[in-house]
Amino acid sequence: MKNGQLSWVLLLGLLLGFILVGCSSEDSSSSDSDGEESDDKIELTFWGDWTGEGEEQFNHMVQLFNDSQDRIEVEYVIQEDLVTKFMTGITSGQIPDVLLWDRWRTSLYAPKGVLHPINHFLEEDGISEEDFYGEALKELSYEDNLYGLPLTVDTRALFYNKDHFEEAGLEPPKTWKDLREAAKMLTEKNGNDLDRVGFSFSDVGLFSMWLQQAGGQMLTDDLTQTAYNSEAGLEVLDLWNQMIFEDEVYKPGFDKGLEGAQHPFITGKVSMHYTGPWDLRTYEQYGDQLNFGVVPPPTGPNGDQGAVMGGFGLAIPEASEKQEAAWEFIKWWLADPENALEWGKTSLNIPGNKAAIEDPFFQEDPFWKPFIDSLEFATIRPRHPGYSVAEEDALIPQLEKFIGGEQSAEETLENAQKQGDRMLEENEVE
């Protein structure tokens, strides 16, 4: 072989060697199942709309997760008008990998295909649904698919001013009758004005809880129509009418817009009101001026208990390209009892992990116990795609007119029924 030919052969050999080395190098750093280079951290974006203390609480858990391993890095990003931003981001490609999810919206948005089912993740990791509150999982489900794990579970309990009750010689109410009588005795009037209201009706959105206590339900059994225009519904509004207009224990707007140190319960202007565990920290901060207690919701006229379970979950968008890594983050936070307990202690929210709630932190605290007890009979809102719309846009505006004295109970429920039935039909999944 001539020298020139030998040179060409050597050159070709060297080129072939470089190509093979390059291919080998490329294979060794191939993308993992989440579309990230295996030598690099997988970066996840976690969207939520919690600010202030909520942001700090989320960042605490995010930092603990990031420090617990070296493969995934999560960043919490605040989004105002979260659901709208999420839905519009789907078309533009700007979506998160993990999403804070108000659970009751699942039945409306899951049929749209925007959330990723996690059933296969649970099965692969051997995680039992029995580890979580069943009602919370139902609220995160549509048909046979589960679309997230519960971050929080909550319900409402009755907060009362112990000093007011002691001065009046009263015990915390256990029934509607007790509640009405206590509210009358605790109300303080100054002519046509109220110096102190016995019970606050500021949240008419709790109508569904009252309806359960009256033995009623929000939708028919087949979930096709509203069911609150009923004897039970009239019983609820009759009690409201007696307390607001006959007994005059409350005036609409009395406590509107007052928060923090000016909240009327803290300043002693309200003797009783319904709220959730999220207010415990706030009220405890004012322990020098507020001596309060918490009891489960009073029972209705026939002894029926009623409480509505709400709360948030963590979900994975269908459009995320990093679903497995997103699941690792959610699993670490919510399926591990220790991490779920850390979240509960940090945020003062009840975690959705049942084992975490068995800790003395929750079981031995007199403020937490009424909520834990109420969760045993609390139920979620009906899982119809249009239910959230019907409640927010049909029922609540009519109830606000009722407590404002603008219309009767019959008119209120009839109008809410007509509008609500139409909205259920409009949002039915074909």
Residues 189-214 have pLDDT tens digits of 988 889 999 999 999 999 999 999 99
Q: In the β-sheet with 272-275, what is the strand arrangement from edge to edge?
A: 272-275, 157-161, 292-295
104-122 b/e with 16+ CB inside 10 Å = b?
Answer: bbbbbbbbeebbbbbeebb
Whether 4 has a pLDDT exceeding 60, the answer reads no
Mean pLDDT of the chain: 89
What does the pLDDT read at residue 12?
41
CB atoms within 10 A of CB 325: 26
Topology of domain 42-154+310-375, per CATH?
Answer: D-Maltodextrin-Binding Protein; domain 2 (3.40.190)
**Alpha carbons 330 and 314: distance in angstroms, whole number:** 7
CA angle in degrees (0–180, nearest 5) for 422-103-364: 130
Q: What is the pLDDT of residue 29?
A: 37
Give CA–CA dist 222/299, Å, rounded: 26
Closest CA to 185 of 202, 167, 200, 203: 167
Among 150, 145, 140, 300, which Cα is nearest to 217's? 300
One-letter amino acid for residue 184 of the chain: K
Cα separation, 111 vs 121, whole angstroms: 20
Find the helix or strand (DSSP H, E) in which 274 lies: strand 272-275
CA distance linking residue 28 with residue 162, whole number of Å: 68
- H or E segment at 48? strand 42-48
CATH 3.40.190.10 in the chain, residues?
A: 42-154+310-375, 157-306+384-426
Q: What is the mean pLDDT of residues 114-121?
A: 97
Say if residue 246's pLDDT is above 70: yes
The architecture (CATH level 2) of 157-306+384-426 comes to: 3-Layer(aba) Sandwich (3.40)
Instruction: Lowest mean pLDDT of 27-36, 201-210, 286-295, name the range.
Output: 27-36
Q: Is residue 386 very low, low, confident or very high in pLDDT (cuts 50, 70, 90)?
A: confident
Q: Which pair of tokens denotes residue 406?
A: 């603008």
**Tens digit of each residue's pLDDT (9 = 90 or more) over 333-360:** 999 999 999 999 999 899 999 999 999 9
The predicted pLDDT at position 260 comes to 60
Predicted TM-score of the model (pTM): 0.80
Residue 150 sits at the vertex; the CA angle it makes with 148 and 153, to the nearest 5 degrees, is 155
Check: CB of residue 84 under 8 Å from CB of residue 54.
Answer: no
pLDDT at residue 429, as a whole number = 67
Q: How far apart are the first and last CA of the chain?
A: 78
Higher-scoring residue by pLDDT: 254, 12? 254
What is the structure's pLDDT at 375?
92
